[in-house]
Amino acid sequence: MEVIPAINCGDEGCVRKHLEMLKDIPAKWVHFDVSDGKFTPAKTWDVEVRLPGEVGLRKVEVHLMVEKPEEYAPRWVAAGAKRVLAHVEIVESFKLKVESFTECEFGLALLPETPVETVYPYLDKVRFVQFLAVSPGFSGQKFQENILDKIRALRERDISVIIEVDGGTNDAVASLARRAGANVIVSSSYIWNNPRPAEAFASLRRAQ
C-alpha cells in the first residue's frame, strides 16, 4: 500500500512544521491540500512557489479543492508538482485539458456524495482517481464507510486504474480500503497527531 502524508495547513508556520516532521518519514510522495474557501469552507495557504527546495526528493501531489483549478494547476506544475488532482464535480466547467498535462500526472477527485459513475466517462484518459472519504476542507474527520462500495465498484469497472483514498484514514481504514481495491492512502491527522509520526506512517504501509 502506497502511503502519502498530507499537509493541510492554513498558514506558513503550519506548513513548515509539517515539512520538518516529514524529514523522518520515508515517504516517496507528499500531498498538499489546496482549498480556496469557496469550493470548501476551509482555506489553505498556497505554497507552491517554494516546493522544489523544501520537499527534498519527494514527489508532490496536489489536491485542488478549488472552484477554478485552471488558475491553480499551472502554477503548481511550474513549481514541480508531479500529480494534480481536480474535482470531477466541476471538471466540465473548467478550461483545463487533460491532454495539456505532459510534465505531470492528472487525476480526478470525487466528493463523498458524488456517485462513482460520474468518473466513468473519463477513464479512457484519466488513470488516477481519488475518493475523498470526508467532507472537504478540514482534517480529523471520521471515514465514511460508504466509500468502500465506491472503491469496489470502480475496481470492478477498471482493474488497472490507480485508486487513492483520502480522509479519516488509520490503520484499520487502510486495511479496509486495500481489500476493497485501493492502491494509495493519503493521511494527515493520523500521522501528524501521533507522537511518533514515522511509526504511524509505517503502520499504514503494513495494512493488509
Q: Could you report the per-residue pLDDT of 42-99, keeping only the tens digit for each? A: 888 776 656 656 677 789 999 999 988 888 888 888 888 899 999 998 876 655 566 6
What residue ranges define each of the domains in the chain, with the CATH number in brackets? Answer: 2-205 (3.20.20.70)
Catalytic residue among 24, 36, 124, 166: 166
Whether 33 sits among the annotated catalytic residues: the reply is yes
Q: 155-188 pLDDT, tens per residue?
A: 999 999 999 999 888 999 999 999 999 999 999 9
Catalytic residue among 11, 24, 33, 124: 33
Written as one string, the DSSP assignment of 95-140 is: ---GGG-SSSEEEEEE-TTS-GGGGGGGTTT--EEEEE-S-TT-SS
Q: How far apart are CA 45 and CA 97, in angstroms?
A: 25
Prediction pTM value: 0.91
Whether 24 sits among the annotated catalytic residues: the reply is no
Query: Could you tell me the pLDDT band of residue 123, with boundaries at 50, 70 and 90?
Result: very high
